[in-house]
Structure 1
Amino acid sequence: MDRIGNLETIKFDVMGRCAEDSDFHGIRTLLSSQLLPHTDVDVSNLTDLIIEQNYVGSVIVEDCDTMPGADDDDDDDDTLEEITLLGVTTAVSLAERERFPCVKQLKELLLTLAEKHGRNDALIANLLAEKPCKLGLLINERFVNIPQTIAPPIFFNLKKELQSAVNKKMPFAFTYFVLIAKINKVEIENEVLDEWVNEEEEFLKGKTEYEFEFPLQAENESSIEEEMKQCGQVPYRRVMIFPAHVFEHLIDTLRAGQ
């Protein structure tokens, strides 16, 4: 434990593992507050889907072995119960399924956003209309205090799990991915700059086949969004569609930079 001024900074490591039923609340909170705020997508249903397909993707949690008091055997059970979910990275097929109406809702949302904010929505419309749909939604959400260094191993693991699923004839042979990236617009010296919340996603810049962005606006803004705007940061979402091989190149680039 370090002390900075009058504040104590607690250091701990994080790790990735398969999603479990006990992660439901944490995943749902991340999706509703970061990926899909102010939308009609059934986030609970999407969370159920992520947990059901836990053989693909990872959740990011605190590493119990590095947490303060981890050596205290008497507190093991309490420590496990208090583990905080810090992120989730996975890929969801946008092929519709009866048990998961969230997939149809996601497709409708993407089409609506493209029509409203995009210049040419033909590509996304064609990809979503393809049967079977081979467009995968890449979900990459974590709290802002979790460093970008977690991304290379998490992405590499996702790549291996997707290939394993494809080898078992599961519907994860994606030709394209769609990612909803979080960007803050910051004005510095009369110039508006993009600040990528997840730094690794900036590597996709210039490599997409279709993208558009839109500001987060709602009648009832969250306190965080309101505070960000007061500080000169306007939260945006950028929808980015890119071929599957670009995702593999992203992983190689990130791992080479480690």
Structure 2
Amino acid sequence: MVKRKSGVDDKAPSKDKMDVDGEDSGSDDDELLNVDFEYFDPSPAVDFHGLKTLLRQLFDVDNQLFDLSALTDMILAQPLLGSTVKCEGTESDPYAFLTVLNLHEHRDKPVIQQLTNYLIEKTRSSSLRLESLLGSSSKSQIGLILTERFINMPSQVIPPMYNMLLEEIQWANDEKEPYQFTHYLIISKTFTEVASKLDVEDDRPAKKSKKVANAVGETFYFHPEDEVLEKHALATLRFEYEKQGEEGASDAKRAFQEMGVRPVGRLTLIEREKFEGAVKAVGEYLGSEA
């Protein structure tokens, strides 16, 4: 079933002509590429592989710890909740998605148990102790927000998806469906810069010294809305991935910059009363017209 399809004429910045994976055609002239983005309900018939790819990107090197096929099926099993963004009609692959899963309602499903145990372990020694919220005796209803997009997608596609999610949760609650959340937990991905192994191997002492001095572990955001949402959070946590990338992986991800890029996981916990204000702030910051 197609969502209230908004033909949003977003202007995605690119260099001449940009692919889905963020590579450009090599032109030095900055242009604006007009793209019509359409919002759809998740479609079990066509979206399985696209959503699974985006989930793999979201969880980065730890994606192998979870049954992503089962998680994708769960997203597709609630097609009237959540959105996908496409550029070539409903039969095309999604370039972005956003949805929410009720961790309490699905707590007996193996993939949710995998995720819950992972989250509890990551927060065990931090101020964001999820065990009290996710434990079997907890009365809390945690809505796990999953969202990801391809690297060259404009951030302006995000506010409409959050706004539609608010509406859909309200509609679901009006129908007495299990979406009376007490908290929202957002999994996202940030990164830090690290000294490049390639430059060390090149034996350039001056450059190497500069990199080591600058590698202070500052957090950078892949998606600007994450920084906005954190300002409304009850608690946040930066966590290291369980599986480490192969040696030199940070250099493979350092496109067009001197430092290597090391992805780091991020959890943002927002109380129900603060969530609508957080969504509004995201829209104001990103300036979407939708």
State TM-score, norm by structure 2.
Answer: 0.72
- 1:76 counterpart residue number: none
Sequence identity (%): 24
| 1:15 and 2:22 aligned | no
Matched residue pairs, number?
239
Question: 1:50 deviation in Å?
Answer: 0.3
* Distance in 2 between residues matched to 1:223 and 1:61, nearest whole Å: 34
For each residue in 1:189-223, what CA deviation from the matched residue of structure 2 results, as whole angstroms up to 9, or x when unmatched? 72543221111111123432232212336355499
Deviation at 1:98, TM superposition (A): 7.6
Contact 1:184 1:195 in 2 (8 A): yes
Change (3 A) 1:3 1:196: closer
1:164 matched to which residue of 2? 171
- Whether 2:220 is the aligned partner of 1:214: answer no
Q: Verify the 8 A CA contact 2:41 2:83 in the aligned structure 1.
A: yes
Alpha-carbon displacement from aligned partner over 1:59-111 (angstroms, at most 9, x marks no partner) = 111144xxxxxxxxxxxxxxx65x23211101100015387321222111111
Q: Which residue of 2 aligns with 1:24?
A: 48
Cα deviations by residue, 1:151-204 (Å, 9 ceiling, x for unpaired): 111100011001111111111111101111211113687254322111111112
From 165, 185, 191, the counterpart of 2:192: 185
Counterpart CA distance in 1 for 2:160 and 2:260 is 33
Deviations 1:31-58, CA, capped at 9 Å, x for gaps: 1232364242211111001001111100
Structure 2 unaligned residues grouped into runs of 5+:
1-13, 18-23, 195-210
Aligned to 1:112: 121
Q: How far does residue 241 in structure 1 lie from its aligned partner after superposition?
A: 1.2
> How much is the aligned-residue C-alpha RMSD, in angstroms?
3.0
2:107, 2:185 → 1: CA distance? 22
TM-score, reference length from structure 1: 0.80
Which of 174-183 and 187-196 deviates more? 187-196
Task: Specify which structure has the higher proportion of helix.
Answer: 1
Distance 1:241 1:233 in 2: 25
User: Which secondary structure state, in structure 1, belongs to the residue aligned with residue 126 of structure 2?
Assistant: coil
> What's the secondary structure of 1:193's corresponding residue?
coil
Among 29, 41, 44, the residue aligned to 2:69: 44
Equivalent residue, structure 2, for 1:72? none
Letter in structure 1 aligned against 2:193: V
1:233 aligns with 2:255: no
Alignment of 1:130-169 (within 5 A): 130-169=137-176
Point out where structure 1 has 5 or more consecutive residues left out of the alignment: 65-79
Aligned in 2, Cα 1:3/1:240: closer, same or farther, shift over 3 Å?
Answer: closer
Q: In the aligned structure 2, how far is the partner of 1:42 from the partner of 1:6? A: 36
Matches within 5 A, 1:70-85: 83-85=92-94
Instruction: Give yes or no for contact 2:107–2:113 (8 Å, CA) kept in 1.
Output: no
Letter of the 1:246 counterpart: K
DSSP-derived class of the 2:161 partner: helix
Q: 1:88 maps to which residue?
A: 97
